[in-house]
Each structure stands twice: as C-alpha cells, then as structure tokens.
Amino acid sequence: MNENLQPSRRQFLKVGGAAIAMIPVLVISGKAMAAKNAAMRTSMKYQDKPNGDKDCANCMQFVPGKTAKDLGGCKIFAGDTEISPKGYCVAWVAKPK
C-alpha cells in the first residue's frame, strides 16, 4: 500500500516537464492581457492625441517608457503599458514645476 503513495520517477518527470512547458504560454498570455486596460480607457475618455497643451508626457500620473517617445504607463490605468506620451484623458493633472 505504501508503494502507491510514493511518486515514481516517471510521474515526477511528467509533471515537471508539463510545468516547464507551460511557462512560455503563461508569460505570453500575461503580457497580452496586461497591454491595455480598455475599461479604464473608456471611463477616463482616453485619446491618443493631446488636448491643447495637455498631454500624458506632462501629466503627474504618467509613467514614461524607456525613451521620451516610447509608450509608457499610467498610475490610474492599472496594467496598461501602451499609453502614448501624446495622449490625454480626463484624469490629467499637471506635473509640479
């Protein structure tokens, strides 16, 4: 009866192999889901163009990308990594000078 409770080497390798094979799938799906927060964009009336001199690049909520022209994030749009520095939404707040 104790033989059934001890995992065999074959079972261990099967489970371990399946777990390792799932890692790239989880990483890819996680990045795809985290790209845009459509519900927040709609509720905050986000647009990819500025509203006069108000744009994301000079907003206190904006989290810049690697360079000034790269897409960034927003403290309000959780998980959204595709915010344009030239975008605008109703949550815009000027950066302190």
Higher pLDDT, 53 or 16: 53
Q: What is the pLDDT of residue 11?
A: 76
Is 82 contained in some domain?
Answer: no
- What does the pLDDT average to over 20-46? 73
The parent domain of residue 50 ranges over 2-74
- What does the pLDDT average to over 89-96? 93
User: Which residue(s) pair with 88 in the sheet?
Assistant: 47
pTM higher than 0.95 for the full model?
no
Total of domains in the chain: 1
Is 57 contained in some domain?
Answer: yes
Q: Write a three-state SS string for the chain.
A: CHHHHCCCHHHHHHHHHHHHHHHHHHHHHHHHHHCCCHHHHHHCCCECCCECCECHHHECCEECCCCCCCCEEECCCCCCCCECCCCECCCCCECCC
Is 11 contained in some domain?
Answer: yes
- What does the pLDDT average to over 57-79? 92
Query: Binning pLDDT at 50, 70 and 90, where does residue 18 land?
Result: low
The residue count of the chain comes to: 97
- The upper half-sphere exposure of residue 42, i.e. CA atoms within 13 Å in the direction of its Cβ, equals 3
Q: What is the pLDDT of residue 58?
A: 95
Is 66 contained in some domain?
Answer: yes
